[in-house]
Every structure is written in structure tokens, then in C-alpha cells.
Amino acid sequence: MITPVELIGFFSQITNWLISIKNSVRVNREEYENILTLIYTAANETKHYIAQQKNGKPRDEEKEMRLSEMWMRAGVKVRRLDFDFGERLLLKADYWANPDSWTVKQINDAGIELDRVLKNAREIM
């Protein structure tokens, strides 16, 4: 049988555990906002690059590599919140590392089209 002293100690440990979770949520909120910033920065840079291409500007392999790096950083961070979404962002990084090797079907099957990625980012907000 549990004594009152043991019960008080047990509840004290639970209280300390809950306080520690609450404090880590504050830290995670800042990290969470940083992750969203990474996603939206990569998305905005991608939109801008695509718009330039549609307006006749030639491909820029250095810019594509920077986009790949941006999506890679976002994907690595997102995996902490949502592993599957993070993996898709890493696939988006792979796409930008070599866009010519991807078909439209592969992009759609991987779920890495920009509108879909942005929709998913809003869902985790």
C-alpha cells in the first residue's frame, strides 16, 4: 500500500515533469516559428525564381543549388515536428539539386509541388 508521503512524492515528481514540459513548449514555440520561417523563405524564393523563368530569364544553376540548400535546411528542421512532411521537403531539395531529372508525375507523386507544400505548412501552424 502506498503511504501518504510516497503519494505526495509521486505527485511532486509529476508536477515537476509537467512544468518541464511546459517550459520546453516555450522553447519549441520559438523553434517552431523558425521552422516556419525557413519554409516560407524557401517557398518565396522558389516562387520568385519560377516567375523569373516564366518571364524568360535563363536558368540559374547557382540559384537552383541555393534553393536546394534552403529546402534541405527546412526539411531537416521540419522532421522534428512532422517526419513525413520533412521528408517531402528533403525530396524538394533533391528536385532543386537536379530539376531535369524529375518528371511532372514524379513531382506530383512525391507531393512536392509548391502549392501543396505551402498548404501543408499552413496545416502544421
User: What angle separates helix 114-123 from helix 4-54, to the nearest 10 degrees?
Assistant: 160
Amino acid identity, position 55: N
What is the predicted pLDDT for the residue at 7?
46
d(CA 119, CA 42): 14
Counting as low any pLDDT under 70, the low residues of the chain are 1-27, 125
What is the predicted pLDDT for the residue at 47?
93
What is the predicted pLDDT for the residue at 9?
56
What is the predicted pLDDT for the residue at 39?
93
